[in-house]
Structure 1
Amino acid sequence: MGGVRVEVLGPLRLLVDGTPVEVPGPKRRAALALLALAGGRTVPVDHLLDALWPGGVPDSGRQALHTHVSRLRTLLGPAADRLRTLQDGYRLELAADELDLAQARALLARTRGLDDPAAALPLLRQAHALWRGPVLADLTDVPPIAVAVEEQERLRQEVTDALVGRAVEAGDGAGVLGQAAAAHAADPLREPGAVLLMRALAASGQPAKALRVGREFRRMLADETGLDPSPALGEVERAVAAGAAGPAPAAPGRPTPATRLIGREEQVSALHRLLSEERLVTVVGPGGVGKTRVALEVAGRGEAPVVLLAPVTDPAGLPHALASALDLVVSRGDVLASCLALLGDRPGLLVVDNCEHLLAGARELVEALLAACPRLSVLATSREPLGLAAEYTYRLAPLPVPQPGGEVAASASVAVFLERARRARPGPPPGPAELRLVADIVRRLDGLPLAIELAAGRLSSLSLADLHARLDRSLDLLGGARTGDARHRTLRATIEWSYQLLTDDEQRLFRHLALFADGADLDTAEQLAADLGLGGDPGGLLARLVDASLLDADFADGTRYRMLETLRAFGSDRLAAAGEVPAAEALLVRWAVGLTERIRAGLDGADEAEADATLRREIANLRVAWRLARRRADLDSAAAIVVALFEAIGYRDLVELRGWAEELAADPALAAHPRAAAVLGVAAEAVYHRGDAAGAERLARTGLKRGPDPDDAWYGRMALAVVALARGEFEATAEHALAAVAAVGEHRECLGIAALAAAYGGDLDTARELNGRGTAAAVSPSMRSWAAYVAGEIEGLAGDLEAAEAHYRTALRLARGVGATFLAGVASVGLLAVLARAGRVHDALRGYTRVVDGFARTGNWTHLWTTLRNLADLLRTLGDDRTAALIDAAADLAPDAPAVAGARPVPSPDGPVPDRTEILRLAREAVTRADRVQAATSGARSASR
């Protein structure tokens, strides 16, 4: 039997005994390619005939095929017996190393079992080298070959991806830059290719180029498809920015310790052992003993989410803090339920930090977590136990201090002092005499880590001897309890000592800043100093507080000043002792009213993106101010805050703000307030967004009866317009929307709502005229996005799918740039519907995968049900009636799914309706199946042309 090799990963090539043999004639070359691509299987005669003569087999077709096969045997020479004639067709027998395609697959398969990237690289390089150019370029007019070419291109992508990935892991990113760049250039919208090119660039010392590739991919994906990349791209961007070439595992929103943990190895090990047996362990101890730092060490770097409760002052904010720790944006429905559903029955650890100031609420939160998540363990930190039956209390003691006459340098408390001292004043290591002073200092501070760090920080302005002397005198002045020669000093005494070293103005600023739960930016801090009438430069006062370790300056996003929670508690106590609480609370509420008014103006103008960022950055402080206004029965301020946040309530995923509006609307005292109409209108908008159209209408109509002011009546008119639109009451929609226009002008969304009513009612000319007026008057990016979305709806109804698509893409770009998540969501759904109608089923299916996954990640089931219903319509046109029926049935039963007016009856599914988790799985699988069919069909059609 002679040696033969057929190569199809490039121009068709036949080698017999190592010598190339020319195969003349397109039909003969196609026949050889089809036989080789069959991989040793029999190819039926009818299949060959249909492939070679796709326009119709001539009468002489069978004889012509027989002739081509005979000539191929002649070309095979001594290997002629490899081409066998069977009863129903022909078969070309080739070993795995005699067909380059089979060889490439085998090499790739071998690498999957190798853990060592260096061992896999030679195999992958060999496989990648098998491609010699355009695959069977002269034969793609044969439909089965065209389909095979697409499959081989996917195989080439897989080999290239594996090669680049393993090379980066092996430290040879520079060696695969060419392959990575070529793969990305061939398909610039394929995310894995972009990610691998970024990793290769970063690994070869070009992080700036890597980040540029990521930015360009995001822009192109948004421009071309209107979609966002998956979280994997963001992970690689963060890793590259941090100096790595792979995904960054850091958990969102969790603190990163700046220094190593000293002297707590035994406690960390003990907690690990406890958590292997107990589901709830609470680390308790005094403030400043290091509970948070130890908990973070147990959680590990990037492993367990950390729920930060220190900035939370209201129990209602606890679910939102949990959602933030889980990187879960819940814009609809129950926040806690969404968090519990995300955690599910997966094993893992969750840290809940600083529970003491919200003990009852934290207890309820942890109890819900343990009940709903049977494989979850919780590590809590608190100054006192939570009081749950399942709780194991672990009391964290201060660091050991050196005993008189004992070894000083080996003490953990001394090591902490020395490390902090080196940061405050770099210099040579201390001598024996200095070490004795340090030992006395840490003993007098009872080994409390925060107290030690605060004291060591004073070395920036005091010598060690001065620090020791002043510490001694200050503690005596504080009147600590005495038992013989021993003194017991609390952390409060240590903070008091640092506090007493401040000037009167510095102390006053410190006290008032303690009310800001999440710190204050430079402008706010300086304005606060001015409002307090403090002398001197506010910047100098702030710098002094930072130097004294009573404030921490964070420069990650501008300049922001924060306090440790223990320091905030101390500052609040001193505020009360000075009798300044009412005035300080009034200042904070006044700040919130002014800030929300500036945010309102920003959201309504060209600087919307900056206003959105400010709102999201200050939400924790606004939460404190809101609670203060409510507790003080300050209706004027509460109403001003809620009304100013209307744009955020209507167009952003900050569901907490909607709760504020509903809370204020339910206050009986609001009835007599002059802004009752506006508040009730805003609350109607909030209620509408959680699916309660009847409640929204009730609130809006009540508000219209309360307030004759046209500016305030506008809010209620807007709510009535959107409720009527959802119900299909188009005349009422136009009436309310145009009344709103008369009240506030054409720059808001009122004309767009009226235009939608006209369009849905069939009057497209009127719709275009109304929306044209709204577009011309729109100023903010979100209002321009809204006008573009409305234009997309109108042109979609008119049948101009190309124009509709362009409008939807504009709406998406504008909305995403300013955080208007509601507009981005509806524009995405509209875009996908247009793509499906335009016959771009493959693009639509890819888009549905991203949109469904995105809504599922954020817990936004209201939008998710709408998206799934649209997907069901598309699946039904593709013949997948079963999945479509299951989705529709589940949506019909879901309480948070929007009503579908005038929906046509759909067949009921056989058997029970799946739950939400199962529906998502079925939808994703259906999209994958349909996408594969569409890709293969599209390839065959392209080949036939």
Structure 2
Amino acid sequence: MGGTDGADGAVRVEVLGPLRLLVDGVAVEVPGPKRRAALALLALAGGRTVPVDRLLDALWPGGVPDSGRQALHTHVSRLRTLLGPGADRLRNLQDGYRLELAADELDLAQARALLARARAAADPATALASLRQAHALWRGPVLADLTEVPAIAVAVEDQERLRQEVTDALVARAVEAGEADGVVGLAAAAHTADPLREPGAVLLMRALAASGRPAEALRVGREFRRMLADETGLDPSPTLGEVERAVAGGAAGHAPGPASSARPTPATRLIGREAQVAALHRLLGQERLVTVVGPGGVGKTRVALEVAARDGAPVVLLAPVTDPATLPHALAAALDLEVSRGDVLAACLALLGDRPGLLVVDNCEHLLAGARDLVEALLAACPRLCVLATSREPLGLAAEYTYRLAPLPLPEPGGEPAAAASVAVFLERARRARPGPPPGPDELRLVADIVRRLDGLPLAIELAAGRLSGLSLADLHARLDRALDLLGGARTGDARHRTLRATVEWSYQLLTDDEQRLFRHLSLLADGADLDTAEQLAAELGLDGDPGGVLAHLVDASLLDADFTGGTRYRMLETLRAFGTDRLAAAGEQEAAEALLVRWALGLTERIRVGLAAADEAEADATLRREIANLRVAWRLARRRGDLDAAASMVIALYEAIAYRDLVELRGWAEELAADPALAARPGAIAVLGAAAESAYHQGDAVAAERLARAGLDRDPASADAWYCRMVLAVVALAHGEFEVTVEQSLVGADLAGEHRECLGIAALALAYGGDLDRARGLNERGTAAAVSPSMRSWAAYVAGEIEGLAGDLAAAEAHYRTALRLARGAGATFLAGVASVGLLAVLARAGRVHDALRGYTQVIDGFARTGNWTHLWTTLRNLADLLRTLDDDRTADLIDAAADRAPDAPAVAGVRPVRSPDGPVPDRAEVLRLARAAVVRAVQPGTSGERTASR
């Protein structure tokens, strides 16, 4: 937003001195301390939204009165009035207020920009001009009448540090440009204001010497040494001695500049972490100790360095430190402090004193106790110091605010891959490894899959992109299963980062034996574990410690992530899981761990089986859907281990899901098991064949369904498990219009399975379709009375809807269908919800509520198409064709009916139905779906008759 030529009025706020507001170049008085404080806080936010609660706490630090929110709103309204034509700059947002100012509309932003420009300038004269302009922006004591507001007082301290940086840079550049005479007074004033600050003393010495006053320069150095020793017991850094030697040798203009802290400079720009860096800056304005935690390779150090760069904060690098006793020496090195005698830590604390500032302590996890003691001493002895620590687990101090750094955002499914920060990091690093044209759509899709499989970890992404120097993108993608060893090299100095495996190993070795063991076993679970499962596993392993405590430390150590959405669940990143399974094999525990996981899955599926047949079916359904990824692992392990009985038990226990839910994968398990020749000799063979037959029926393969069901009956038609096969034969016969066979098979199945199953309902449907409505009602009422689970009650309600629809009582049919839908959806029985929807839509159409019927067809068609259930999809499409004819869309209706008439998996149609011969070829399945969806869209568009009756 422009500062001088915008149509919304030129606005300028100045905070480098007494608060001043200018609108269109004219100073505007801002009355009242709270209103002035509100304006200052909004301006100091630099265009970020300031939450209402933060403003209230700042303006009323002693406690917000009941009228506080209204008073704040009034102050903001008055400020908007004072802004005149620029009133729109002050925005009222849902969570706070934001003052939008361009860089040239806030003197603080100008000062920072000018300083950055000067630092980047190669020409001293150009830099000097920018620094003089920046220094002139300070007009006196900064916001002196508002420093009772704590947030403003903190900001004033930041601005004083900025002024100090500008002053130091101005003096140094003036000396380099041969204009030292003009800045001697400025350097002297800065040194007088803080006589124990070595950079200020060094700059004054250089300015004096460059002005032809070397004796005075050397005197300043001697006095600084004496004062530093008297008041702190410290010696100055080597830089002071170098300046003294340069002055004495007559080379003051080329003497070393001010000493700088040992802060590493990143070689690449930070991508995708702007929000995290901003959040940490805000936190450090409120908290004295913030610890950034997260797994290895997530980018904690890089983010901390970005935060440190803003204030020039020193960074204590602990990664190379192995002895806790040397921590004070690492701190001294970060502060450029040489201590030749005495207590090193005491010397560091004395140097930091009570001056405000930020200190970064990086990589604390391997020296946790020592780092905790060091930080605690810093906070106690330096009351105005803030510490930003990085660690794979919290330090454990009372003052600590834990900030958990997550991996980079992954590409959204169906979205633009390049918009994701994880992809952007990969592409930026890949460009350095192998320059070339930008990637095309197919390559971007590969990159998106790579960063997903690397969990969005910046280190893993950077290492992967670096491998493009010797691998193609496709080669890299194909080898990601070896990512722990593939991603790395010997280029970095830190041995922990030479491979991704070494990075994880670093965290793993810090765990206790019990923690390592539980971590290894949890790594087999593809989608983590809830608290009960994790504690059960810990108990099975016989861990010495409390399972809850072990889990909590694995979370603290960033090796597990705790998700509290809908209950506690512990998960691992895929890279950590890969490491854990490798360590499981290395420890010789793999076989026992796999057997334990299969036993867990058997117990869980049995509990799900019982739950799906009970009144609390919805809870069992939720458990199944939540654990499906882990059950998939257990199923595959059982198959790989040749444990046919375990695999069969899982399939049989999940029969309700195979029959009534959209978990298509489970149907594949049944079919795979049924095709195994070894199944014939196992006790669960009949039930497995019945489940596989049910799966084939749902896929529209009636031939395979009947073959599998008869194979099961051939083994023992009187077996209690034979009802699985009887039910499939019944529904296949029903689809073929063989109603007597349907009734016979269903009633035998009811004798075997009990009346609480769906058997009586299927027999009732056959009787109703055959015209015997009274007997159909009687059978269904028996089934309804015995039904326990919501899905069986839903089935009974659906059958009742079919019967009453055939009887012509459309209102009663609709009520039954809606009951069936409610029960099915509540229980997760998606197949039953689909068939109930088909019946309901047909009744709505018959009742003349065409628009209501049309709106439901797309959803039902999509549902059956997604699960591949063409048997019921053809019925749905034929019903839609009938409805389309009432809307004069005969051509689409004829095409649909013609495709259904030729489909081998379409159910038989009761009565005589004319064979349609549409113009042109009969559409295939994909085309018939497209035609149906397009016809619905046309029919519900504005301008069509939404309630046309179906009386043609």
Q: CA deviation at 1:492?
A: 2.5
Contact 2:742 2:766 in 1 (8 A): yes
Does residue 786 of the first structure (1) align with residue 806 of the second (2)? no
AA aligned to 1:529 is A
Specify which of 616, 623, 628 is matched with residue 637 of structure 2.
628
Name the structure 2 match of 1:437: 317
Residue 264 of structure 2: aligned partner: 408
1:844-855 alignment runs, 5 A limit? 844-852=853-861
1:517 and 2:526 correspond: yes
What amino acid is aligned across from residue 648 of structure 1 in structure 2?
A: A
Shift of 1:555: 1.3
User: Are positions 1:637 and 2:646 aligned together?
Assistant: yes
Report the counterpart of residue 660 of structure 2 in structure 1.
Answer: 651
Change (3 A) 1:553 1:727: same
Q: Which amino acid aligns with 2:837?
A: S
Aligned residues of 2:364 and 2:390 also touching (Cα < 8 A): no
- Mapped partners of 1:603, 1:765: distance in 2: 31
Q: Which residue of 1 aligns with 2:761?
A: 752
Distance in 2 (alpha carbons) for counterparts of 1:453 and 1:727: 75
Contact 1:721–1:732 (Cα < 8 Å) also in 2: yes
- Tell me the equivalent position of 1:535: 544
Residue 805 of structure 1 is matched in structure 2 by 814
Matching of residues 567-716 of structure 1 within 5 Å: 567-707=576-716, 710-716=719-725
| 1:556–1:804 distance in 2 versus 1, CA, 3 Å | same
Q: Is the 8 A contact 2:648 2:673 kept in 1?
A: yes
Do 1:875 and 1:883's aligned partners in 2 also have CA atoms closer than 8 Å? yes
CA distance, structure 2, for counterparts of residue 715 and residue 829 of structure 1: 25
2:922 is aligned to: 913
RMSD of aligned alpha carbons: 4.2
1:36-185 equivalences in 2 (<5 Å): none
| TM-score, normalised with respect to structure 1 | 0.50
Deviation (angstroms), 1:410:
4.5
Structure 2 counterpart of 1:715, which letter?
Y
Secondary structure of the structure 2 residue equivalent to 1:423:
strand
**How far apart are residue 884 of structure 1 and its match?**
1.2
Deviation at 1:730, TM superposition (A): 1.6
Equivalent residue, structure 2, for 1:46? none
How big is each residue's C-alpha offset from its partner over 1:571-613, in whole Å with a ceiling of 9 and x where there is no partner? 1111111111111000101111111111111111111111111
Which one of 740, 761, 770 corresponds to residue 779 of structure 2? 770
2:572 maps to 563
State the 1:858 CA deviation. 6.9
Residue 578 and residue 792 in structure 1: after superposition, are their counterparts in 2 closer, same or farther (change >3 A)?
A: same
State the shift of 1:629 in Å: 0.2
| CA spacing shift, 1:663–1:453, aligned 2, 3 Å | farther
5 Å matches for 1:211-610? Answer: 408-410=264-266, 422-424=291-293, 435-437=315-317, 440=320, 455=363, 463=371, 489-610=498-619
Change (3 A) 1:536 1:905: same
- Which residue of the partner structure matches residue 841 of structure 1? 850
Q: Specify whether residues 861 and 406 from structure 1 end up closer, same or farther in structure 2 by C-alpha distance, changes over 3 A only.
A: farther
Read off the aligned partner of 2:292 and give its amino acid letter.
Answer: R
1:832 shift after superposition: 1.4
Q: Secondary structure at the match of 2:720?
A: helix
Q: Which has the larger radius of gyration?
A: 2
- Structure 1 CA distance for aligned equivalents of residues 653 and 390 of structure 2: 54
Q: Distance in 2 between matches of 1:486 and 1:794?
A: 75
CA contact (8 A) 1:681 1:699 kept: yes
Distance 1:483 1:726 in 2: 68
1:632/1:484 Cα in 2 relative to 1: closer, same or farther (>3 Å)? closer
How far is the alpha carbon of 1:927 from its aligned partner?
Answer: 4.2
1:814 partnered with 2:823 = yes
**Residue type of the alignment partner of 1:437:** L
Q: In the aligned structure 2, how far is the partner of 1:902 from the partner of 1:461? A: 83
Cα separation, 1, equivalents of 2:363 and 2:909: 66
Q: AA paired with 1:765?
A: D
Distance, in Å, in 1 between the alignment partners of 2:901 and 2:842 is: 20
Once residues 492 and 826 of structure 2 are traced to their aligned partners in structure 1, the CA distance between those partners, rounded to angstroms, is 67
Q: How far, CA to CA, are the matches of 1:572 and 1:940 in structure 2?
A: 64
- Describe the shift of the 1:728–1:855 C-alpha distance in structure 2 as closer, same or farther (beyond 3 A): closer
**Displacement, 1:838?**
2.5
Distance 1:895 1:937, change over 3 A: closer
Structure 1 Cα separation of the partners of residues 554 and 760 of structure 2: 52
Q: Distance in 2 between matches of 1:891 and 1:708?
A: 34
Query: 1: distance between equivalents of 2:949 and 2:884?
Result: 21
Gap regions ≥5 residues in structure 2: 1-7, 9-72, 74-93, 97-259, 281-289, 295-299, 323-359, 376-388, 393-487
Distance 2:948 2:738 in 1: 46
1:863 is displaced (CA, Å) by 3.8
Query: What amino acid is the match of 1:525?
Result: A
Does the CA-based 8 Å contact 2:794-2:832 persist in structure 1? Answer: yes
Secondary structure at the residue paired with 2:824? helix
TM-score between the two structures when normalised by the length of structure 2: 0.50
C-alpha separation between the residues in 1 aligned to 2:711 and 2:949?
A: 62
Q: What is the match of residue 122 of structure 1?
A: none
- In 2, Cα distance between equivalents of 1:700 and 1:860: 18
TM-superposed deviation, 1:497: 3.1
Decide whether aligned partners of structure 1 residues 795 and 580 sit closer, same or farther in structure 2, where only a CA change above 3 A counts: same
SS where residue 618 of structure 1 aligns?
helix
Q: Which amino acid aligns with 1:423?
A: V
State the SS of the aligned residue for 1:908: coil
Number of the residue aligned with 1:720: 729
Closer, same or farther: CA 657–482 of 1 in aligned 2, 3 Å: closer
1:491 and 1:573 map into 2 onto residues whose CA distance is 13
Higher RCO, Cα 8 Å, sep 6+: 1
Counterparts of 1:545 and 1:938 in 2: how far apart (Å)?
61
Match of 2:220 in 1: none
Encode CA deviations 1:394-417: one digit per residue, 9 max, x unaligned: xxxxxxxxxx99861555699999
Between the aligned partners of 2:588 and 2:362, the Cα distance in structure 1 is 27
Conserved? CA contact 1:457–1:549, under 8 Å: no
Tell me the amino acid that sits aligned with residue 782 of structure 2: R
- 2:593 partner SS: helix
Aligned-partner residue type, residue 765 of structure 2: L
What is the Cα deviation at residue 528 of structure 1?
0.5
* Deviations 1:320-374 (CA, angstroms, capped at 9, x unpaired): xxxxxxxxxxxxxxxxxxxxxxxxxxxxxxxxxxxxxxxxxxxxxxxxxxxxxxx
1:845 Cα deviation from its structure 2 partner:
3.1
The 1:834/1:867 distance shift into structure 2, 3 A limit, reads same
Deviation, structure 1 residue 809: 0.8
SS in 2 for 1:561: strand
Contact 1:642 1:661 in 2 (8 A): yes
Q: Distance in 2 between matches of 1:641 and 1:545?
A: 31
**Displacement of 1:882 after TM fit?**
1.9
Looking at structure 2, the residues matched to 424 and 782 of structure 1 have their Cα atoms a distance apart, in angstroms, of: 46
CA distance in 2, matches of 1:755, 1:681: 21
Closer/same/farther in 2, CA of residues 674 and 500 from structure 1, 3 Å limit: same
Deviations 1:375-411 (A, max 9, x none): xxxxxxxxxxxxxxxxxxxxxxxxxxxxx99861555
Alignment partners' CA distance in 2, 1:741 and 1:830 = 25
3-state DSSP of counterpart to 1:876: helix
Matched-pair contact (CA < 8 Å) for 2:802–2:813: yes
After TM superposition, give the deviation of residue 907 of structure 1 in Å.
2.9
1:619-650 per-residue CA deviation (whole Å, 9 max, x = no partner) reads: 11111100000011101110100000100000
